[in-house]
Amino acid sequence: MRTDDFWTVIDRATADRPGSPDEVAKRAIADLATRDPDEIAAWGRHLDKVMAASGKEDLWAAAYLINGGCSDDGFDNFRGWLIANGREVVARAVREPDSLADLPAVRAAASTGAVFEAEEVLTIAEEAHRQATGSGLPAKDAAPTRPDPAMLWDFDNEDEMQRRLPRLSELFLEPPD
């Protein structure tokens, strides 16, 4: 499976603007469950590649700001939410995490406190394979998909946040008195 094929599944699942990442996941599962199990597994391997490519420290910091904190699992689930928003959103966020300040949902979250996580997107391949075959995906070696939390810079350091993520900091950090 090529990278374009991976994103085509997400594009079809996001057609007609579904209401939630859960709906995106359900649509993608329905699409993949009709395919050959090897193709489903290949789609899952591409998901792993997207997760590895997006496992950037400053993107984790952006998730921390936007969601009001972010554990390691929370970072994975945040990236699931990004994937449910499509290839362009993911690519731009990986290149420039501060660009997330351009997304209307993120801007609104600054006042509503909405949290962006979509664990269900991360289980698309597993669930599709289960529906297609009655069993889970074959075991695989799991490569790290995020930095070691012990090696991260201090996300509570507001000066560093403002330096690295000025636009998101403007939205989510309290102005100094």
Task: Say how far apart CA 138 and CA 161 lie, in whole Å.
Answer: 40
Q: Tell me: the pLDDT tens digits for 114-131?
A: 999 999 999 999 999 999
Q: Tell me: the pLDDT tens digits for 64-93?
A: 999 999 999 999 999 999 999 999 999 999
Going by the DSSP 8-state scheme, the letter that residue 54 receives in this structure is T
Contacts of 148 (CB under 8 A, 6+ apart): none
**pLDDT greater than 60 at residue 40:** yes
**pLDDT greater than 70 at residue 1:** yes
Whether the model clears a pTM of 0.85, i.e. scores above it, the answer is: yes
**In the chain, what percentage of residues exceed pLDDT 90?**
80
Section 121-149 average pLDDT: 85
Section 104-123 average pLDDT: 95
